[in-house]
Amino acid sequence: MTNRLANENLEQFQRQKVEDVYIHIPFCHQVCSYCDFCVLQCPDIFKERKSRQAKLIQPYLTALQNEIISIGSFWQQAKQINALKSIYFGGGTPSTLQTEEIAQLINTCKKVFNTAADCEITLELNPNHYSHLDLAYLHSLGLNRISIGMQTSDANLLRFLQREHSYAEVKQAVSAVKQAGIYNYSLDLIIALPGQTLKDVKQDLDLALALAPKHLSIYSLILEAGSKLYWQYEHANCPNMVQGLVLPNEDLEREMMHFATDYLEKQGFRHYEISNFAKTKATESRHNTAVWLARPYFGFGLNASSYLAGVRRTNTKQIKRYIDLWQTNLAFSSNEEINYLSSDLYKAAAFTDVNDEASAMEDYFAFALRYLKGVACQDFVAYFAKDIPANIKAILLWGIKQGLLSKKEPRLSSSKLDLNSSNQAQVDEISKNTVLYVTREGQDYLDVISRQLIGCLSD
């Protein structure tokens, strides 16, 4: 390559250095009924791995390492990477891999990148797919956070979701994680399940809290196109039913989420993002926070997304194509001038969206407002090296007047909006020193603000 190492014309926001990595492991022993992610079912993943899908595991892991080494090394040459703050293994089911396979990926990242001493390395884990793993050994390599898919404690609903575990196995998984020396673990829950009541939601929360997690993620069931549940819903004889079960309406779903929010806040959890709760700021998910706050990040693997120098890319969903493209590393000379934005580096990308400065500004608040602990306008100013455009300010002010945003943090103990007269009197002013908070009502209608932000600078 003969291109310059760095493009001097890059905008301020495109020069942000990368500190976060996402790695996609698409393999599952069984695919959940609600899942529309890019996954491959491998029933023999713990055995001989002789099925057509399972035979792809080793070639995929080789291709994955080649992608990490190639793209990571180029960006290191361009000096566009700080010491990594987070590495996140998502899926799929990363815990279905063998210890040596996960260890090799961790070591590859450490070899390619500098990692901060407190780098958060997360592994998503199914409660019944971990006993083959040497978690203590992986912890010694830096694995220090586990995300466990509990989903619900109700055995019937777990079968409905086609989950293979029980609540008893969730307890056993938590015990194994702690025995390995990993005390930062998160639990995922799903609410608004068919036939579920507020009493059922409280029971799930109580049983989850009994396991003393440092973090909880709570998602409402969404019938995503491409999932088994969506197909069953589309072909059901009765509306608002799936598998003969009635789905909660929107009002009940909102009531469940509000109840869960209030209940967890009373238990000392910080509601720091629309669907996420942490015991302390230190136990907030670093990778997810980086995405919400528009920081650049690497996405490696099948259908993985990245955001680098203002360019969003998503890799192909076709595993054989991905493997073919990354059969080998990209070799380069340390003395060679390279272009780390070259499309040659991202040959697996099936979707590319180049953010100009205007669209990046629109995206900034559309994403960052999900971070409920406050969005400082001075961070926007530092990120773009200029003031907030008038069109964006107008939308933010509209959000305040509608009670969706506030310049005063809502009280954690209150289930009502904390909008007082002193705050309302200042709605006509947003300055560099303003910190914006999403109100309780705003959490329900945040997409309304986001839709207004997207495209507002091109009108």
Domains (ranges, CATH) in the chain?
13-293 (3.20.20.70), 359-454 (1.10.10)
C-alpha dist (Å) from residue 62 to 100, 124, 409: 13, 20, 48
Range 150-173 average pLDDT: 96
Q: Retrieve residue 75's tokens.
A: 């960006």
Q: pLDDT tens digits, residue range 267-323?
A: 999 999 999 999 999 999 999 999 999 999 999 999 999 999 999 999 999 999 999
pLDDT interval class at 333 (50, 70, 90): low
Is it the case that residue 419 has pLDDT exceeding 70?
Answer: no
Could you tell me if 327 and 66 are in contact, meaning their C-beta atoms sit under 8 angstroms apart? Answer: yes
Do the bridges between strand 298-300 and strand 18-25 make them parallel or antiparallel, or are there none, so unpaired? parallel
Q: Is 249 exposed, middle or buried (0-12, 13-18, 19+ CB in 10 A)?
A: exposed
Strand partners, 239: none
Q: pLDDT tens digits, residue range 117-160?
A: 999 999 999 999 999 999 999 999 999 999 999 999 999 999 99
φ, ψ of residue 435 to 5 degrees: the values are -115, 125
Range 334-339 average pLDDT: 65
Query: Which pLDDT value is given to residue 241?
Result: 72
Range 348-377 average pLDDT: 94
What average pLDDT does the structure give for the chain?
A: 90
| pTM given for the model | 0.92
Contacts of residue 86, Cβ cutoff 8 Å, sequence gap at least 6: 19, 20, 21, 119, 120, 121, 122, 286, 287, 290
Could you say which DSSP state residue 19 is in? E
Is it the case that residue 409 has pLDDT exceeding 80?
Answer: no
Query: Which pLDDT value is given to residue 245?
Result: 76
Could you tell me if 228 and 198 are in contact, meaning their C-beta atoms sit under 8 angstroms apart? Answer: no
Do the bridges between strand 27-28 and strand 40-41 make them parallel or antiparallel, or are there none, so unpaired? parallel
Could you tell me if 51 and 44 are in contact, meaning their C-beta atoms sit under 8 angstroms apart? Answer: yes
Query: Which pLDDT value is given to residue 318?
Result: 97
Query: Which pLDDT value is given to residue 425?
Result: 41
Q: pLDDT tens digits, residue range 421-438?
A: 344 444 558 998 999 999
Range 346-354 average pLDDT: 94
Q: pLDDT tens digits, residue range 67-82?
A: 999 999 999 988 899 9
Range 255-267 average pLDDT: 97
